[in-house]
Amino acid sequence: MDFSGKTVVVIGGTSGINRGIAEAFAASGAKLAVASRSQEKVDDTVAALKAAGAQEAIGAAFDVRDAEAVAAGLKGFHDAFGDFDVLVSGAAGNFPALAAEMSINAFKTVIDIDLMGTIHVMKGAYDFLRRPGASIINISAPQSYLPYEGQSHVCAAKAGVDQITRTLSMEWGLEGIRVNSVVPGFIEGTEGAKRLAPTPDAEEKFKRDVPLGRWGQPQDVANACLFLGSDLAGYISGTVLAVDGALYQRGSGRPGQMIGQMLRSMSKGSN
């Protein structure tokens, strides 16, 4: 893949899966702009992207819950690099919590980051997208279509993200903008996976549920994003692409129940 001369923006691109995506585009010669809340993580990532081969790399610190800050940050990226060829929106928050036990603010926090954050990013970038040709990739999760106990907030938020993908693929498709979602399965060594499978035993059981018999790597997700960002995917829009080792084929399976069981045993222990 050759992305030299292309501008790639990765929101939430300073750790884990999204940073892997940013690094893959950097290694393909793109100009990279990344953002997240922590200036320290942004600075560290910008340095790594330059080392990985980015034509140029810049970053900004903002919270996706703040629509004005997102719009200002994206304008700064546009002032520096011009129209965006690829926009990856992947900022997210997650913690395991049973609905009966989490506060309304806890539920809303995840909705605000994952769902509202996605529309803030997409609308903030709208004026700056290359027409025709831009590719938007929203990073979703299996919770979008698989109910997992202890994940009602994430399930609601990510289902919303994928419906935004589908709807805006129609509205913005008219302007030559493609919109897709990528659904990573369990990706090894990442914060999201650690939060849902916090023990070696849970990790092992989750892994057994994946038909391909292994957890994914950040590079697996990055490869899908390189494809969706490229002209090879020029007629693909409105798709929700699972990069999950066929995890989805097993339905909610063990992960769907284990997070709830873990939380219930913890709350019994604390009584």
- The single residue among 44, 56, 66, 191 that binds ligand COA, judged by CB under 6 A, is 191
Supply the DSSP symbol for 84: B
Of 77, 145, 158, give the one whose Cα is nearest residue 113: 158
The interface partner of residue 102, options being ligand NAP, ligand COA, none and the CB cut-off 5 to 8 Å by kind, is ligand COA
- Residue range at the interface with ligand COA (CB under 6 A); choices 25-33, 80-88, 89-97, 120-128: 89-97
Quote the least distance from Cβ 110 to ligand COA, whole Å: 6
- Write each residue from 149 to 188 as x if it is in contact with ligand COA (CB under 6 A), else as -, in one continuous string: ----------------------------------------
207 in helix, strand or coil? helix
Please, what's the largest Cα pairwise distance for the chain? 59
- Write each residue from 102 to 141 as x if it is in contact with ligand COA (CB under 6 A), else as -, in one continuous string: xx-xx--x--------------------------------
In the sheet where 178-184 sits, what is the strand order? Answer: 56-61, 31-36, 7-11, 86-89, 135-139, 178-184, 240-243
CB closer to ligand NAP, 91 vs 129: 91
Cα distance between the two ends of the chain: 55
Per CB under 6 A, 93 contacts ligand NAP: yes
Structure tokens at 102: 């989490």
Amino acid identity, residue 13? G
Q: Give residues 2-21 in contact with ligand NAP (rule: CB under 6 A).
A: 12, 14-18
Beta strands in 167-212 (DSSP E): 178-184
187 in helix, strand or coil? strand
**Chain residues in the site for ligand NAP (CB under 6 A):** 12, 14-18, 36-38, 41, 63-65, 90-93, 113, 139, 141, 184, 186-187, 190-193
